[in-house]
Amino acid sequence: MLHSYLLDVLLRWGHIVFGVAWIGLLYYFNFVQTEYVKVADDGAKSDVMQKLAPIALWWFRWAAMFTFLTGLILLGWIMNQQRFSLGISLGALMGTLMMLNVWLIIWPNQRIVIGLDEGDKAAAAPKAGLASRTNTLLSLPMLYFMVASIHGTQASGGVWGGEMSTAALVIGLAIVVLIEANAIWGKMMDAIQSVRAVITSSLILTVIMAGVVHYA
């Protein structure tokens, strides 16, 4: 029992450490660097793109990867312990999509923006920006489900235990898929364009997703 407890704690600890680094940098890019670049002079912008952004993006993408990998190991451990739940499943889905957005959309397009690869910077920047804003939108409900699931009942099945609601699962999946589809093929919406808007929308999405999972 002691060994199982220590392993459980260590897996969660590692997952949280990498997650703090990843989401912290996500918020830095969205709330700090992007807003600074809008008002900085050309020399300062060039300095950010050539010196700061490559370092920050290195830590950002690898923090995302190791958050995902430790989460995958933790998910296997949770399933082995029969503690899988609807909350964990939706949180894991959002986290996985966010990681894929980092590696398949944000990073390739940011390489063009900061000059590591050739390409159309005017086209690449909005693609990276939309995926980054989408990750910010998904971050609060993802974190809510991860934290709430840890403190829920240990039984498998429903929100934190019991019977898993098919309706809640389908509605939750549909919401997440539609948001991700917009990140890939859609455009920047007013609901996530500004810092205030994306924070507000993320809080609203958290309430909606929690309501669906609890009551659908």
**Is the Cα dihedral 204, 210, 212, 216 positive or negative?**
negative
Which amino acid belongs to residue 118?
E
Range of the domain at 19: 2-215
What residues form DSSP beta bridges with 157?
162
Residue percentage of the chain with pLDDT more than 70: 91
Tell me, what's the pLDDT at 3? 75
Per the CB < 8 A criterion, the answer to whether 89 and 78 are in contact is no
Average pLDDT over residues 179-197: 97
pLDDT in tens, 93-125: 999 999 999 999 999 999 999 999 999 999 999
Q: What's the domain count of the chain?
A: 1
Separation of alpha carbons 36 and 48, rounded Å: 10
d(CA 119, CA 130): 18
pTM comes to: 0.92
